[in-house]
Chains A and B, each alone.
Chain A
Amino acid sequence: MRRGRALRWAMGLGFAFLWAPILLLVAYAFSADRIPYQWGGFSLRWFAALAANERLVEAALLSLRIAAGAASLAVLLGGAAGWALARFGPFRGRAVFGALIGAPLVLPEVVTGLSLLLLFVALEAAIGWPAGRGATTVLLAHATLGAAFVAVVVQARLADADRTLEEAAMDLGATPWTAFRTVTLPLIAPALAAGWLLAFTLSLDDVVIASFVSGPAGTTLPIALFSMLRLGLTPEVNALGAVVVLGVGLMLGLAALLLRPRRG
């Protein structure tokens, strides 16, 4: 009995540690006061101010577009990589390929960001594309990062699935493409969807890589937020934070739901 109570206290403290700052942020988003850490009564005025702030809204829309594009590209690249790693057997260079795919997961973001910046600059000098830094380069950079996550998720999903399933399909008259379409794809669809959501969230959150590879035309929401901070905090930032917390929470919840273990 006493042990149960101690455990509950420990759990409560742990959750408080994790969630108190976020809850505080959300709570102050509804404060009427001009100082973002001072309670001035309930109000939605900062949400209204946020909606009226064209710069922020534009940045948010750009962020959403980049996130969607980057996540889609990441699913294509990462899905193919995960499939190759799980199903192609021990091909030449498999270990190196696996390590390189996973590199963005372990490399510090400043390193990833800097190296991508160097690559984009070199590419522009060599073939003239991508021209300058902006939304395109941010999208490509985020797709690189997201592909690593998608590859891991898809590979894990395929590793769980019986590899004779595709053979069984072919045995029953399916060409390899039909077998992929009717058996493999439905099997990894939840992993692809979850991977898309993860990549989307990563892109929406990222400020480090984006700061390296974005230009004047590529101000994403986190970058806009950061520059606002330098000029001084307003409760608009709190409101924005609350909206982002809500969005990211929904995304991660959906991803967890899609990746939940199934019977059989």
Chain B
Amino acid sequence: MKRALHYSILLLGTIIFLYPFLWMISATFKPELEIASFGLWPSQFTLSSYEQVFAKIPILRSLFNSLLVSLSITASVLFFGSMVGYSLSRLRFRGRNLMLMVILFTMMIPFQLTIIPLYILMVKLHWTDSYMALIAPGMMSGFGVLLFRQFFQAIPQSLIDAARMDGLNDVQILFKIIWPLSRPVMITVGIITFMNTWNEVLWPLIVIRDRALMTMPQTVTIFAVSGMAEAQLGVKLAAATLLALPVIIAYAIFQRYFIESMASTGLK
């Protein structure tokens, strides 16, 4: 009895969280007049919403931009973040503790404080309307550094000492010994960084005005608010579905990693 109640609540929850997505995807295949209904199966299957999206906005170009920006930032955070994390956890040098404090301090600063001056910096560097404005500010992540540091600290010192005996220097140790051991932290930092960058809208809205350089979320946002969709629900939802699809597919395959990684953002 109690079990049945549990299950019915959990099932209700599943409907509440999943049904809207299913409805959204099915709505994109419905004729416009049919969208305002609960049903998931279109009486008439049509691709016209998607045809209009592809005709009205450069969605593929923006997909490319988003991939380029997100992959570059993720690669940079993994590469540089692990370097800094290694130096913080395994090397001694003057200013190390200061750096740790600075990282913790900067992580506390709300972005509301820096976003306007950061935009002005982009203007001064002539980086607005360029990939640099989208990529450069995200190339390092204090949170990523801390995760790397924490992970590297747990690696046995004997392993590093042995490598040193073999004549490896610190750079070689990092890339040849530590990196291969670091899959879990790489996945965590990688997923968090990639997702945050992929979903970011505010910063692209601020620094990019040129349609050809817009990221996918930005393109879809502007499409949704600018009236380009001419009050057609199906077209807006189709654009949203195209934006959600890559993430939903990735999530369906790697959901465990997603949940664990994103939950760790809370564990500062």
Q: Are A and B subunits of one complex?
A: no
> B-contacting residues of A (Cβ < 8 Å)?
none
